[in-house]
Chain A
Amino acid sequence: MEFFFEVLIGGLLSGVMYALVALGFVLIYKASGVFNFAQGAMVYLAALSVAGCMEKGAPLWLAVILAFVIMTLFGIATERFVLRKLVNQPPIALFMATIGLAFFIEGLAPLVFGSEPRALDLGIVDEPIPYFLDQWNMVISKFDLVAAGVASVLVATLALFFQTTRVGRALRAVADDHQAALSIGIPLQHIWAIVWGVAGFVALVAGLMWGARNGVQFALTFTALKALPVLILGGFTSVPGAIVGGLIIGASEKLAEIYIPPVLAGWFGGNFGGIEGWFPYILALLFLLVRPEGLFGERHIDRV
């Protein structure tokens, strides 16, 4: 039982890391109704910017500020050169544009900052906390707890931002209908620039945490793979949904990885380990059958 709880808690804390990436997707989707294929690449760009600036001699705090500036400028440039021409186009056109954007970032970022994998030291050691180890014989990492704290603050801030500010309400209006939002005077271009800037900031936070955990390298783009089932489960439009979805996916994939393979091996023979690569997707697909809009997603009703 002790081991079960250790796996469960470890899974929940991993889920928080997935939620950090999923938040970026939610932001863009809420503001433009577009699934941003480039979010994983943005995480990579943000982390690489920090590592690149540090390599040029900047201290961590300055590198983070510079990376934030880079991500904001990138967001504004995306609106100006990619999205502005696509206003009122079908969502699939915007989606295709983000695919192009992902390839562009994946090519450009290593050209500017170099492609060799680098360490990113945030000063938080990824080691078990002695208290939990001594008292409960449980491994709980300091780093994971900090990541959970960061994600909680981020989610609370973004939820408040969307619910209570004028910009937040404008963002939601734009997401519902570009043309209608424009017709009532909402400055679509500014709104998109803001939301891409905020998504860049979220990518920076995710990049810092994932980069510190696994190193700054191209594989950060793969973090998006972990966010997809989280989005399906939590809903594409819900900030709290991202965090709840992350927790469910994290916990279930870890429990599945530990407890399902021995059962399958007993039935069929062989080694069924490594199922956490696909298990979250199966879970999300099953969930779709029951609740297509996700746990917290907005139910979409069309007039016929």
Chain B
Amino acid sequence: MMHRCKPVLSAVALSLAMLSQGAAAAEEQFFPIPGYRVGPYGANGQAFYGGFVDYLNYVNLKEKGVNGVALTWEECETEYNNAKGVECYERLKGKAAKSAGPIHTMSTGISYALIDKSAQDKLPLAMVGYGRTDAVDGSVFPYAFPLVTTYQMQASAIVRFVKDKLGGSLAGKKIVYLYHDSAYGKEAIVALEAEAALNKFALVQIPVAHPGNEQGAQWLKIRQEKPDFVVFWGWGVMNQTALKGAQKVGYPRDKMIGSWWTGSEEDVVPAGDAAKGYMAATWNVAGKQVPVIADIEKVVYGAGKGNLQDKARIGTVLYNRGVSAAVLSVEAIRKGQEKYGKGKALSGEQTRWALENLNITEARLKALGATDLLPEIRTSCDNHEGSGKVKIQQWDGAKWVPVSGWIEGNKALIHPLFQASAKQYAKEKGITPRDCAKEK
């Protein structure tokens, strides 16, 4: 009898041993990813989420996760559609109940749709360079993080750059603001109007109806206005159409500066020669000269675990933006583990605390091999943005070349706008803002 039972007992013992080993190795930090790789903006999503996932893989391969906690993730396809974005969030949030990294939707519309839900579910929403910008005020929006910089601070930084270009004064100058006629396009208006009043320049606002694949009238109007500069807030096909429109009326491309959603390879390559000389703001730098990007190619793609089929896209603006977003997310997990225990996965609530206490210095960026990939970040309860800096880059016909250092928008002018808007939101929703002084 004993002999007959022996194999069974051995199997049970082995299973238990494996289970306990599994339990020891089961500490995993989960990242819910409601992203998009197909649909109208699929090409943008492929590069961004490709970079994001490659960096998570890189940390797993290089360091065996964060202090031994393996990084895991699950993607759900949103097709950049708000309803599908919410559906994906609902599908992923069950898995995120135990541990959750920041959620990146790469969509202002989806972010808006999730702001209240994520706060209720205690899951932090990262909106790196997009989304609801008054969420900079963390006293009203504890779970929303418009990290690095916002549309308004970006617009302000662009004005500062143009001012330098035009000899240090904008008085009597004219700037045309050509924008996608949507919530995204309108976000920067308040900042540009404030800058126009402060710097005494004329601001001409010209909206373009979605999708923006026809801009003949707008460019004839710009030709008539004869502006000193065109500040441009486009998205998707509107970007190439604008560059071609400028070419068609003979407006110089080196007097056009776009937002960071108009400044990727995907935006300029389809416009061909029409894009040469065009400038755009960016909060992350392109290229493989950044050590961490080169190392990802070596380590992750060397191990055959790369996320992109087309390796040529490594080092592009959007790929590096995905890596930058992942760097911020992983650094938040590190920060959280310092408080809540090294080697332990963080809950959504704990990750929220970490995102609010980020301090990524130049030295830390250097240690990560990410010098100049993104600016220094220091967040707090009353500043979920953490930086407010951008660089201006110029398309030379083959690649993006930075033509400025990090430029900070006029914080004294712009941040009170966020606070006023957040206060209004709190009043409408009956939210009692946190006392940030007590959080320090």
- A274 engages B270 (CB within 8 Å): no
- A78 CB, nearest partner CB in chain B, Å: 22
How would residues 126 to 154 of chain A score, 1 for a CB under 8 Å from any chain B CB and 0 otherwise?
11100001000001010100000000000
Instruction: Give the complex CA separation of A6 and B220 in angstroms.
Output: 8
What chain A residues lie within 8 Å of B270 (beta carbons)?
Answer: 117-119, 214-217
- A176 CB, nearest partner CB in chain B, Å: 35
- B376 CB, nearest partner CB in chain A, Å: 32
- B42 engages A273 (CB within 8 Å): no
- A215 engages B240 (CB within 8 Å): yes
Instruction: Give the complex CA separation of A277 and B181 in angstroms.
Output: 10
What chain B residues lie within 8 Å of A121 (beta carbons)?
Answer: 272
Q: For window 187-237 of chain A, which residues contact chain B by CB distance below 8 Å?
A: 210, 213-219, 221-223, 225-226
Q: Chain B's interface: helix, strand, loop or mixed, by majority?
A: helix
- Partner of B220 from the list A139, A143, A214, A274 (CB cut-off 8 Å) is A139
Q: For window 239-257 of chain B, which residues contact chain A by CB distance below 8 Å?
A: 240-241, 244, 247-250
Instruction: Give the complex CA separation of A219 and B310 in angstroms.
Output: 22
State how many residues of chain A have any CB contact under 8 Å with chain B.
Answer: 48
- B248 engages A222 (CB within 8 Å): no
What chain A residues lie within 8 Å of B272 (beta carbons)?
Answer: 119, 121
State how many residues of chain B have any CB contact under 8 Å with chain A.
Answer: 42
How would residues 193 to 226 of chain B score, 1 for a CB under 8 Å from any chain A CB and 0 otherwise?
0000000000001111111011011101101100
Instruction: Give the complex CA separation of A225 and B236 in angstroms.
Output: 16
How would residues 1 to 17 of chain A score, 1 for a CB under 8 Å from any chain B CB and 0 otherwise?
00100110011011000
What chain B residues lie within 8 Å of A288 (beta carbons)?
Answer: none
- B216 engages A254 (CB within 8 Å): yes
What chain B residues lie within 8 Å of A225 (beta carbons)?
Answer: 211
Given known A117-B43, A117-B240, A117-B266, contact A271–B209 (CB-CB < 8 A):
no
Confirm or deny: B271 has a beta carbon within 8 angstroms of a beta carbon on chain A. yes
Given known A119-B269, A214-B241, A219-B236, contact A277–B40 (CB-CB < 8 A):
no
What chain B residues lie within 8 Å of A223 (beta carbons)?
Answer: 213
Q: Chain A's interface: helix, strand, loop or mixed, by majority?
A: helix
- Partner of B249 from the list A128, A254, A257 (CB cut-off 8 Å) is A128
Q: Which of B207, B247, B248: most chain A Cβ within 10 A?
A: B248
Q: Name the residue of chain A whose CB is nearest to the CB of B264.
A: A117
Instruction: Give the complex CA separation of A221 and B211 in angstroms.
Output: 11
Confirm or deny: A292 has a beta carbon within 8 angstroms of a beta carbon on chain B. no
Interface residues of A (CB under 8 A from B): 3, 6-7, 10-11, 13-14, 107, 110, 114-119, 121, 125-128, 133, 139, 141, 143, 210, 213-219, 221-223, 225-226, 253-254, 257-258, 271, 273-278
- 8 closest residue pairs by CB, A with B: A215-B270, A277-B209, A219-B237, A274-B207, A274-B181, A257-B217, A273-B207, A274-B209
Other 19 A-B pairs with CB < 8 A, given A126-B248, A274-B207: A14-B214, A110-B38, A115-B43, A117-B43, A117-B269, A117-B270, A119-B271, A125-B273, A214-B213, A214-B240, A215-B237, A215-B269, A217-B237, A217-B270, A218-B42, A219-B213, A222-B213, A222-B237, A253-B217
25 contacts across the A-B interface (CB closer than 8 A): A10-B220, A13-B216, A14-B214, A115-B42, A116-B266, A116-B310, A117-B266, A119-B272, A121-B272, A125-B273, A139-B249, A210-B213, A215-B240, A215-B270, A216-B270, A217-B237, A217-B240, A219-B40, A219-B213, A225-B211, A253-B217, A254-B216, A276-B214, A276-B217, A278-B209
